[in-house]
């Protein structure tokens, strides 16, 4: 309780200003709308299920914060209360968690996740629409005038609890994976920020139980800002280590011990591109392979089976891999194998050809 005293002093100090109650919702609105715009732009350039869902999630977050702003500056009414509670209290964490789920296990959830999402959203909307509102409490208590029945409480708690676990656990798992592999430092930092921001947002509801409603808005604005910082961090490119690409061409002599680009005949013999794929990429999971290839501007195509031309390209790469690497390569989804083949022939081999012609 003593740890909360500084917060109480802050709220008592600022509560005299009529604008206090709306400052943090406005900040949350601006940040969440900016995050939705950034992710929406990424989705427009390179559509992916996780990006689409996260764009929707932050748009939902913006709607919730906007509802709070309107209710604070004007007055609360029944439709505004229902919109706020459905978007802010029930759905937003679930949508954020769904985006994380697509990042971690897209192939496992993509068949059933959309249908389940629609079902849960419809159920939540029905419960919120049917919930009675004490109109005598609207002026003083805003959205808290909504009377939550057992079914609505249970659904809200389930979505937020499971969603927080998926978000935080998934982000920490991804960060740990990147740290172990020594790759994509910016994505690792971004994942940690997303996990931290999620915990801050989740703490807002807990802190309100101490009788300070303002904690919810403070936590919401700070948490979404941290999440946005994490999203921006994951968008930053990590410059690939040059030594990883040319290590096969390093000389054994002291005079030429530094990294160097090898000629095409040497490349065909040592084939540093194959070596790089075998040692650095085949050890990754599907998500990490996709992220690593995107650094090289090789975007994954959503394919479940190869066209004739694609099959030839994939087989050409497989034939160049050592036999011991074939089981790992064959275990990958078709889209991941095609992505690696495009990385090899369109980037690595093409780069060697340019170097030789020059």
User: Which of left, alpha, beta for 193 (phi over 0: left; psi -120 to 50: alpha)?
Assistant: alpha
Q: Quick one: average pLDDT of 244-267?
A: 38
pLDDT in tens, 156-215: 889 988 988 888 888 787 777 766 656 567 777 877 887 788 788 777 655 554 545 556
Radius of gyration (C-alpha) of the chain in whole angstroms? 25
Distance between CA atoms of residues 119 and 149, nearest Å: 19
Identify the pLDDT of residue 215: 62
pLDDT, one tens digit per residue, over 23-37 is 878 888 888 898 899
pTM to 2 decimals?
Answer: 0.64
Strand partners for 146 = 133
For the chain, domains (ranges, CATH) are: 14-234 (1.20.1070.10), 242-357 (no CATH)
The C-alpha atoms of residue 190 and residue 175 are separated, in whole angstroms, by 8
At 82-124, the pLDDT tens digits run 998 899 888 988 898 898 888 777 777 888 999 999 999 999 9
Which alpha helices (H) appear in 15-91, and where do they start and end? Answer: 20-45, 49-73, 78-84
Helix or strand run (H / E) with residue 287: helix 286-295
Which residues, in sequence order, are CB contacts of 243 under 8 Å at separation 6+? 259
Q: Is the Cβ–Cβ distance between 337 and 314 less than 8 Å?
A: yes
Mean pLDDT within 325-339: 89
pLDDT higher than 80, residue 276:
yes
> Given this model, what pLDDT does residue 355 score?
45
pLDDT digits (tens, 9 = 90+) for 47-83: 888 889 989 999 998 998 898 888 888 888 899 999 9
Q: What is the pLDDT of residues 239-255, one digit of tens each?
A: 444 333 334 334 333 33
Tokens 């629609």 belong to residue = 118
């Amino acid at each position: 309780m003593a740890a909360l005293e500084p917060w109480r002093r802050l709220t008592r100090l600022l509560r005299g200003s009529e604008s206090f109650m709306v400052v943090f919702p406005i900040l949350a609105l601006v940040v969440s709308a900016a995050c939705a715009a950034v992710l929406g732009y990424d989705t427009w350039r390179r559509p992916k299920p996780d990006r689409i869902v996260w764009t929707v999630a932050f748009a939902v977050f913006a709607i919730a914060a906007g509802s709070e702003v309107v209710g604070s500056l004007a007055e609360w009414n029944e439709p505004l209360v229902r919109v706020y509670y459905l978007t802010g209290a029930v759905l937003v964490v679930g949508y954020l968690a769904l985006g994380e789920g697509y990042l971690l296990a897209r192939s496992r959830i993509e068949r059933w996740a959309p249908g389940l999402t629609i079902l849960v959203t419809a159920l939540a909307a029905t419960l919120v629409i049917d919930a009675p509102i004490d109109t005598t409490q609207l002026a003083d208590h805003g959205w808290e005038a909504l009377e939550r029945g057992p079914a609505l409480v249970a659904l809200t708690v389930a979505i937020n609890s499971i969603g927080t676990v998926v978000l935080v656990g998934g982000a920490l798992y991804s960060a740990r994976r990147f740290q172990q592999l020594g790759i994509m430092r910016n994505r690792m930092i971004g994942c940690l920020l997303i996990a931290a921001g999620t915990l801050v947002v989740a703490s807002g509801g807990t802190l309100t139980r101490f009788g300070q409603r303002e904690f919810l808005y403070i936590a919401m604005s700070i948490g979404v800002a941290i999440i946005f910082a994490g999203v921006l961090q994951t968008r930053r490119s990590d410059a690939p280590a040059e030594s990883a690409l040319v290590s096969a061409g390093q000389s054994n002599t002291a005079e030429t011990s530094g990294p160097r680009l090898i000629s095409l005949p040497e490349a065909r013999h040592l084939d540093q591109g194959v070596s790089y794929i075998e040692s650095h990429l085949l050890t990754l999971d599907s998500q990490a392979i996709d992220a690593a290839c995107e650094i090289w501007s090789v975007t994954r195509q959503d394919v479940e089976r190869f066209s004739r031309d694609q099959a030839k390209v994939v087989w050409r790469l497989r034939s160049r891999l050592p036999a011991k690497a074939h089981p790992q390569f064959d275990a990958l989804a078709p889209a991941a194998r095609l992505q690696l083949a495009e990385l090899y022939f369109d980037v690595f081999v093409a780069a060697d050809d340019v170097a030789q012609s020059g």
